[in-house]
Amino acid sequence: MTAAIAISGLEVTFNRFRALKGVSLVVQPGGSFGLVGESGSGKSTLLRAIAGLAPITSGTALVQGRPLGHHRDMEFYRQVQMVFQDPYGSLHPRQTVDRLLQEPLAIHGIGDGEKRIRRALDEVGLGSGFRFRYAHQLSGGQRQRLAIARALILEPSILLLDEPTSALDASVQAEVLNLLQDLRQQRKLTFLMVSHDLGVIHHMCERLMVMQNGESVEEVTAEDLVAGHVREEYTLNLLRASKGFERSERPFGLSAASRNRSIP
């Protein structure tokens, strides 16, 4: 089976600073892979390098078996979309929801926009009543749902998730995480997800890589993580700092109805 994402010896350098130092990982189709570590460990840089937003100095990066060059083509962005950390910064506040969702369709020359917009809004629990509101009129949770809808509207197979809930309140964070889980199952998506929160990664991902100073410290399964079956002292320290997190099917006990309802 061809890996959805295969990274080998990836290096990223900014003005002689090595942000990534020979990082390697493999994410299988339909899998959910997490990246954890302290701020500055290189987690987000790795996502940005895959997306073409950070320069790859050396190493190889393949998406669905295709090597990534210096520039990403339109087909890449049909297959790979990114959801950013800050929903306030990633959406134009003076554009309507409809305009924000129409834009990627226009760029890619996709004609069935009406159907895709309705489906995307319904899937993220917003509904057609939000279609002609402006982004600045939405709450943080609603904006992040809109950001997810915009990522999904091209029907990609891979989502790059850069701390997609860290800017949200805890209860809203749980709703968005559960939404992402459901969308992954329904659409058979592949996730590569960054978070500083081990509890979030443990809930969302089957495997994870611990990063420090631009390097991979170790790679473990979610089950090994919660059982404490890790090798490196740095990972143990992360576990100690995050003690008390628990893996659950639905964080905060949210029901399917509460996850998918339209939010006023």
Q: Do 174 and 251 meet the contact criterion of CB atoms below 8 Å apart?
A: yes
Identify the CATH homologous superfamily for domain 5-260.
Answer: P-loop containing nucleotide triphosphate hydrolases (3.40.50.300)
* Residues whose CB falls within 8 Å of the CB of residue 182, separated by 6 or more in sequence, listed in order: 256, 259, 260
Return d(Cα 203, Cα 190) in angstroms, integer. 15
Strands 80-83 and 66-67: unpaired
Angle between helices 97-107 and 140-152 (to 10 degrees): 20
pLDDT tens track, the chain, 264 positions: 899 999 999 999 998 999 999 999 999 999 999 999 988 999 999 999 999 999 999 999 999 999 998 888 999 999 999 999 887 787 888 899 999 999 999 999 998 888 999 999 999 999 888 999 998 899 888 999 999 999 999 999 999 999 988 878 888 888 899 999 999 999 999 999 999 888 888 889 999 999 999 999 999 998 898 888 889 999 888 888 876 554 444 444 444 444 444 443
For residue 219, the Cα-to-chain-centroid distance in whole angstroms is: 18
Secondary structure class of 90 (helix, strand, coil): coil
Q: Where are the domains of the chain?
A: 5-260
Q: Is the pTM of this model over 0.85?
A: yes
CB atoms < 10 A from the CB of 202, how many? Answer: 22
Provide Rg for the chain, Cα atoms.
18
